[in-house]
Structure 1
């Protein structure tokens, strides 16, 4: 069936060949679909936020999630303008009804500072960690991805026999 033959307003998903293969592999892994999730967001370094609207979400028995959907870069300035326009249309004072861009950035900075303070509290500055046998780029990658200290990254890598994925998962939870 081609795209022209699909009735207007019908809820139909057309998957690429690679996506079909990935979905078939997931079916073999006995992952369970998670219903009711309408939006998934991911925060990257530099306060970039990626959002996936109406994703297909699957969960493993171990608690790992797999998300299918189109990730789009979230633009706070645009969202702010839309919220202000909507508030004005409803007769609400836009300053009281929404946050301005500087307060959103301040919230992000406060969260980052709290995270940095938490890391500093948990670390022992005099602790020396043996990094022998580990690749420095692996340690840097884990520190960058999780925001954990270098010592924690080394400990996680050692605990998981230099497995990057499991070390990152441990420090991210």
Structure 2
């Protein structure tokens, strides 16, 4: 059967010669296949993560593992951001379902006042950008802003509070 004869969308895996040889050797080594594993991850320095989805995993009597599958680089920061965004959307939908607001003039006026208050807070945050950054490395500030998603002014204040220690500044801003 050639590749052209396989129906589109079929769940078929095509093994290379080396992979076929390795699987035959595994059978000779009496390795036992472990069922039910859906994902295997390997972490390397620098938060580089390799992930294998739907792997074939084998275990020896000594406790070592052999994993077959296609390894892909996994960006955890991106996954976390997507999960947070999805969670925020779900919370917004549940709040909208719970708060079926009436359209009376009083409620509309209250909504407008709340909106103007939040705009005032945004303006204060924009004023926060004109903070004195002397004695601090701009790259450190950029990294903190990128990692914690806060304003530049808050990042500068946290760096000053922790005497230029980026790790403690990020930790403080992350758990606010």
TM-score (normalised: structure 1): 0.50
TM-score (normalised: structure 2): 0.49
Structure with bigger gyration radius: 2
